[in-house]
Structure 1
Amino acid sequence: MKFKKSLLIMGLTAFGSIPFFNIAESNPLHGYNDSPPSRALLCAKRLNKDCGPIMYEPQSVEGPKGFPQGGPPDGKIASAGVGQFNQLNEQTDTRWHHVNVSKGKNDFTWTLTARHSTTSWQYFITKPDWDPNSPLTRAQFDLKPFCERFDNGAKPAQTITLHCDVPERSGYHVILGVWTISDTDNAFYQVIDADIK
């Protein structure tokens, strides 16, 4: 049984490099930003290094809801305040793999491994003059979401796509996706390290 569980956790796709994260555990799994890929997902794909246990469960970045008034504390936004995912909070302009994102119209897609009654989906972006070599704090972000959708407690499909207009930015910026659950006190947090063209 132990061997089978290890195979589930460490299983690879046919390409041999991307981990399989449909882990058979007693607690439910949740969701991650699939496109553009989040920091946590790129840890699972091994494009981000030295990530700690998030590499096995990119769908589990869950913390208190209510961002920006509530939610995880400053400096721990990327990990949702979860101690075991603390490596996600490391922040320099070269620490993480960057993904290309265009200004203007973009699709942002979540893949859900467990569907929860949902209040909203929101995306925030760092300010034009943010400091990429300082911790992620509310002061680093434009606190008005540039994209949002309200589901009023509905259970979403397994894949959710939002059509968003990325604001005028250039170079490296962090985009924060927040999936807020309606029937718990929690939300899921995903940061995207975007190279905006």
Structure 2
Amino acid sequence: MRTRHVVGAVVAAVAVPLTLALPAQSHGYISTPPSRAALCAAGTVADCGEIRWEPQSVEGPKGFPGRGPADGAICAGGNGRFAELDDPRAGGWPTTKVSAGQRLTFTWKFTARHATTNFKYYLTKPGYDATQKVTRANLELTPFLTVPYNGAQVPSTLSHTATLPAGRTGHQVVVAVWEIADTGNAFYSCTDVRF
């Protein structure tokens, strides 16, 4: 009997620190075409800080663009822990080659299947300077794709296909927002593309 209590105490003593040490297994991000968080998690981009281990955790206030993260902190969801995602890296983020009018599929990977209001996709304006942080002033504030989800729970992966707008050249940024139905938050995912 005493052995069972000792074993139980050891298991509990080990479990609590392990639970606290592991990154939160929650939420989601765009895996393809690779978002900034996905590029960091894969090690394609260096000096990413904590996002390397938590690409799914770019969570911030919902209500974008009227509310939500501050300008210049949009790609990190306003979360200072992931500020590396807002650094334009002098325009050096790897890009996915695209063309105007192309049908492009965005695939989300989820580690927690939240009830969902919608997904919205925004694109930077013509003439965007990729050496600058993403702000509302350099985004088209009308999404080029909105996918209502009406409170349904997402599966473990989900894809949306959109027609990319015309009038863009060079390096642009897609800002995708996954709005959660039953919390005050959303998840933000920035993907760099080149027209």
- 1:164 and 1:128 map into 2 onto residues whose CA distance is 18
**74, 78, 88: which is aligned to 2:75?**
78
Equivalence for 1:131: 129
The normalised TM-score by structure 2 is 0.85
Counterpart-to-counterpart distance in 1, 2:47 and 2:93: 10
Q: Which residue of 2 aligns with 1:154?
A: 152
Counterparts of 1:138 and 1:109, CA distance in 2:
24
Q: What amino acid sits opposite 1:58 in the alignment?
A: P
Q: Which amino acid aligns with 2:48?
A: C
Q: Which has the larger Rg?
A: 2
Which is worse superposed, 130-139 or 85-94? 85-94
How many Å apart are 1:82 and its aligned residue? 0.6
Q: Which residue in 2 is equivalent to 1:173?
A: 172
Amino acid at match of 1:32: Y
Between Structure 1 and Structure 2, how many residues are aligned? 177
Mapped partners of 1:80, 1:116: distance in 2? 17
SS at match of 1:145: coil
Distance in 2 between residues matched to 1:134 and 1:24, nearest whole Å: 34
Q: 1:83 to 1:131 in 2, by over 3 A?
A: same
More helix per residue: 2
Give yes or no for contact 1:122–1:148 (8 Å, CA) kept in 2.
Answer: yes
Distance in 1 between residues matched to 2:73 and 2:110, nearest whole Å = 23
Cα distance between partner residues in 2 of 1:149 and 1:84: 28
| Contact 1:36–1:101 under 8 Å retained in 2 | no
Q: How does 1:1-197 map to 2 (within 5 A)?
A: 25=23, 27-103=24-100, 104-168=102-166, 169-196=168-195
Residue identity opposite 1:119 in structure 2 = T
For 1:23-47, what per-residue CA distance to the aligned partner results, in whole angstroms no more than 9, with x for missing partners?
955x441111011110011001111
Distance 1:108 1:67 in 2: 19
Structure 2: any 5+ residue segments left out of the alignment? Answer: 1-13
Moved over 6 A (4+): none
Q: C-alpha root-mean-square deviation of aligned residues, in Å?
A: 1.9
- Percentage of matched positions with identical amino acids: 44
Deviation at 1:73, TM superposition (A): 0.3
Say if 1:28 and 1:55 are closer, same or farther in 2 by CA, change over 3 A. Answer: closer
Residue 87 (structure 1) shift: 1.1
SS of the residue 1:144 aligns to: coil
Cα distance in 1 for partners of 2:177, 2:99 equals 20
Q: Could you state the TM-score of these two structures normalised by the residue count of structure 1?
A: 0.84
Structure showing the higher strand proportion among its residues: 1
Unaligned runs of 5+ in 1: 6-22
Structure 1 counterpart of 2:30, which letter?
A: N
